[in-house]
Structure 1
Amino acid sequence: MRNRKQSISGVSPEIEYSEDLAAFISASPTSFHAAREVARRLDAAGFTHQLESEPWDGSEGGHYVVRDGAVIAWRVPRGKPQSFRIVGSHTDSPGFKVKPSATSNHFGFSQINVETYGGLLANSWLNRELGLAGRIVCLDGSVHLVKTDPLMVIPQLAPHLDRSVREKLTLNPQKHLHPIWTLTDTAPDASLYDELSSRSKINPEQIAGADLFAYDTQPPEIVGGTFLAAGRQDNLVSVHASVNALIAAECPEIAVMAAFDHEEVGSGTAAGASGPLLETVLARIAIALGRSQDQTYQMLARSSCVSSDAGHSINPNYAEFHDPDQYPVMGHGPMIKINSDQRYASDARGQALWLRACGEAGEATQEFVSNNAVSCGTTIGPLTATRLGIDTVDVGVPLLSMHSVRELSSVHDVHALSNIMKGYWNLA
């Protein structure tokens, strides 16, 4: 069911929500920035920052942990909670990461050396005004988040030089996806780290390493009052929805928001879903509440997880890639993602949980299952279910142009997703 009511400002709740999502995306060009923005919003809502190296705080109220580009937040309710209700997502997106030797000179151009990160749709990054963002770590261990204005472009070959590019575009990641950022005759000694240091007041001689990523500097836009066009919606849509829902929810159990890093490259890191971060946080919460090891396992046995990641709306120009008998359409609500090979963790129990949450929120949902002749992606859902052994359902909003530099969502769906997450946490 669609909520078309007007707010006091005269703007619909869907547009108002999407404008806030756009601001969240703009503040989060990398996973590190996303974790910082989540922490900022949690701080404003009265949550307490928990350091992993300090004794655990088991007091009532909101708490959160940040590890690199990942953040886990939770709220301890009054009474004696018996389980965890978890919403999982991820903060990273496909793109380009700067190599250790950051620059090189070729044919009068100075270029930034990058490697691909995740399964990006490479052609969408061509001819875009790209900035750099990420973290710089100094020799003393201090961490500095940086973000530039437009700095570089990956230029495309003109069709006059190769007529075949109008029929078929083949991109060699080493040769063709190499951004230019200055001319060697105008800046013969240009140094990327000198440029970044001048912007962030870091002594370049003290830089020990950096994790820097390209990002599209074009701001998000709401298109025709229907669509949101922006980069990194896979999966900042889910991160933003879970933060908003966690702040607003009144969960009778321990509500947990887990936003992992490195999902796009397999999750096998200290900040990824295959690592011990979530399991450790849950155990330390239980211990801080005075639970024994067996009581902790009892809590896990009663727990559940909603794994929220972006999915694929049917594309009217490529309808043959979807199941012809059941396919999700943007604007018809978030979807349950189902796969018989368990690339998604959803099963009948998980579907029932999600439908109860939709009923609580008064929002519609739909289903996604792959065309049998088309391969299926995966999410953190199966990883979390395997590691923790808890009931898990995979869901997400339908997108178009997933993994491109600029993805497209429905303003209705992104708003509904947060409402349903709140409904999940509010279930009696």
Structure 2
Amino acid sequence: MSEQIFTDVPQVELLQWLARGSLKQNLPRALRLWVWLRSLYGDSQDRILLDDGFSLAQWRDTFFTLTHPKGETVPPLHNRSCPCAKTTAEWLFNQKTGLERSQWLASVQAHTPVPDLEKLLEQRLFGVTRRSLQADLDILAELGWLEKHQQKYYRVKYFPARPMTTKLHAHELNFLNQEDLVAIAQNLSQEICGVRRFFFKLDFVVTATDEIENWQHELQRLWAKTPVPPIQITYNSARLKNIFLCTVYPVCIYYVQRAVYLCAFGESPDLKTEWYNFRLDRIEDINPIEWTHRDIPKNLIQRYHQRNLPTPDEIEMQMSLAWGFDFYLQSRLMLLRFDRDYHDRYIRRTFRHDTFKAIAYAQAKNLIKKYTPNPEQQEQLLKVLAHRSPDDAYYRVQYRHGDHNVIMRLRAWRPRVEVFLPWDMRQSIARDVAREFQLYNL
């Protein structure tokens, strides 16, 4: 049984994907498939007790009440407590989904006008024949939600890629990736007595906004496909000062440090890593290809055949392990010292990363001994540390070595911060400081 939990909200993008064609004609079935998925993969309130290797009859007997008819015709309204009695509106509009009726109706009609939509909402969603339910089950297998073997159905370990929707209200703000900020936005996003009191200001230095919007729409279109295809990116790398063709699987988009990035798996421009963060405004072309294309990297095609394509959760997990957005770079230990006064005013009671931890002066000494194998370098660092005050603030953190955003943060803290470890970073910063000093040493 899958350990994943299906929490998707039936927004129009997901329903269009489940409809596999005309949403106007297949909306009731798409909504029914959404309820099916809740019964198979939902949380403890929605998931029914059903072993794998089940048949339609076993699902029916578990999902409906004991008095539910077992014939071939549309079941009559036999029991108000039976799920077959619930209207489409009752499935859709409740506290759990958080859907607001008028907004949902408007989103569907804006996507594709559905005749008599209000009338459809008052119809019984599961007031259908056994043949229709069997067709639902087979569609779920075709979409990758179930595996079918000899008329038995088995839950899958990995959900198929689909347009992701989450619970509205607080959960729809999860893209902010910060719980406190989500709470503020949720509480203050609406006007108070006709006056807006909350504003969200982002530094966005990129000027090629039209190109970014084009690529965002193209990626949105590709992510709605089943399966999501790999793509070939023509990328103008600022760091490598050249244009590269990379074959990758697009995973998700991040806004980080004043720009927008596509996180993708497959090839990087320098061919050193499997993952790479492509800045959207530096992408010159995106070309979707078939999964049979000869240029797909071996690591990517293996994950495709294993039905284990990369997900945004992998990225979040890696970023939680070390400080830095370039989550695919090597994780290394950093040892920092802050001036006590500066620390108490600007660093204390702030969050930098899960691994950003204050340590004692004695611990700093032990870390230097442990992580500096070169005797001369170790002796020099210990000598420097001996001249620093034990009352200063010392921190350790795991970081992504080579991550530009980490370097920029350290520069912003200068000269109130000192990097002890790693040795090569300390030396690199010292050279930068020396060059900078020459600019002002008139």
- Could you state the TM-score of these two structures normalised by the residue count of structure 2? 0.27
Larger CA Rg, structure 1 vs 2:
2
Task: Kindly indicate which of the two structures has a greater share of residues assigned to strand.
Answer: 1
Task: Kindly indicate which of the two structures has a greater share of residues assigned to helix.
Answer: 2
Using CA pairs below 8 Å that are at least 6 residues apart, which structure has the higher relative contact order? 1
